[in-house]
């Protein structure tokens, strides 16, 4: 696992033109911070050259700060190396948008739909960006920190009698 990480570090180093790719140790698994413009490229490299076959989850976070309020954390798993790895992208506060990973992993379809529904992060070039849990008429994104716990009165349109 450490070997694999070294190889990835070498590949994604600044010498190869990957500026802004940072390796952190904040979590009990390796985590790579990637600028959102390079996300699709880095993920394709990880899948094709380092056998990260699965995207197991997309974690969306609302930091509730003025700049870079939203975050997407991608949970990758390599079946060949039995290794888990996380990728983090930071997104702007207004209209958070990031490239969809649909071309790389099919599982991003549902996990990204969930992130869109709950946190309102838009995924560019997603094949079917509908809401996952809430109804389409719903205007809000409930997991954002400014959404009240008890919900908003009148947010759900009930069917007429």
Alpha-helix residue ranges (DSSP H) falling in the chain: 2-11, 39-50, 108-119
**Secondary structure (DSSP) of 14-61:** GGGT-TT-EEE-SSSS-EEE--GGGHHHHHHHHHHHH---EEEEEEEE
Candidates 137, 139, 153, 154: give the one binding another protein (CB under 8 A): 137
Q: Which of residues 27-66 bind another protein (CB under 8 A)?
A: 27-29, 53-57, 59-62
| 97 within 8 A of 121, measured Cβ to Cβ | yes
Distance separating alpha carbons of residues 144 and 115, to the nearest angstrom: 11
- What are the structure tokens assigned to 12, written together? 């994604």
Of 9-17, 21-29, 32-40, 89-97, the segment contacting another protein by CB under 8 A is 21-29
One symbol per residue from 112 to 131: x for binding another protein (CB under 8 A), - otherwise; what is it? Answer: --x---x---------x-xx
Burial of 67 (0-12, 13-18, 19+ CB in 10 A): exposed
State in angstroms the smallest separation of the CB of 14 from another protein. 25
Candidates 7, 133, 155, 156: give the one binding another protein (CB under 8 A): 133
- Is 100 one of the binding residues for another protein (CB under 8 A)? no
Distance separating alpha carbons of residues 135 and 72, to the nearest angstrom: 23
Of 7-15, 38-46, 90-98, 105-113, the segment contacting another protein by CB under 8 A is 105-113
**Which lies closer to another protein via its Cβ, residue 8 or residue 102?**
102
Q: Which residues bind another protein (CB under 8 A)?
A: 26-29, 53-57, 59-62, 73, 75, 79, 82, 84, 86, 105-107, 109-111, 114, 118, 128, 130-137, 142-143, 147, 149
């Amino acid at each position: 696992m450490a070997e694999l990480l070294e190889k990835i570090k070498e590949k994604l180093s600044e010498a190869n033109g990957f500026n802004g790719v940072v390796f952190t140790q904040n979590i009990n698994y390796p985590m790579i911070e990637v600028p959102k413009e390079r996300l699709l490229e880095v993920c394709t490299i990880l899948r094709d050259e380092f056998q990260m076959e699965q995207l197991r989850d997309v974690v969306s976070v609302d930091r509730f700060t003025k700049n870079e309020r939203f975050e997407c954390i991608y949970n990758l798993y390599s079946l060949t190396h039995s290794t888990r790895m996380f990728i983090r992208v930071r997104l702007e506060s207004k209209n958070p948008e990031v490239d969809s990973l649909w071309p790389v992993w099919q599982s991003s379809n549902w996990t990204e739909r969930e992130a869109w529904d709950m946190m309102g992060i838009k995924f560019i070039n997603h094949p079917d960006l509908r809401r996952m849990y809430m109804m389409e008429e719903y205007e809000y994104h409930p997991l954002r920190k400014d959404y009240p716990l008890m919900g908003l009165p009148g947010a759900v349109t009930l069917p007429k009698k």
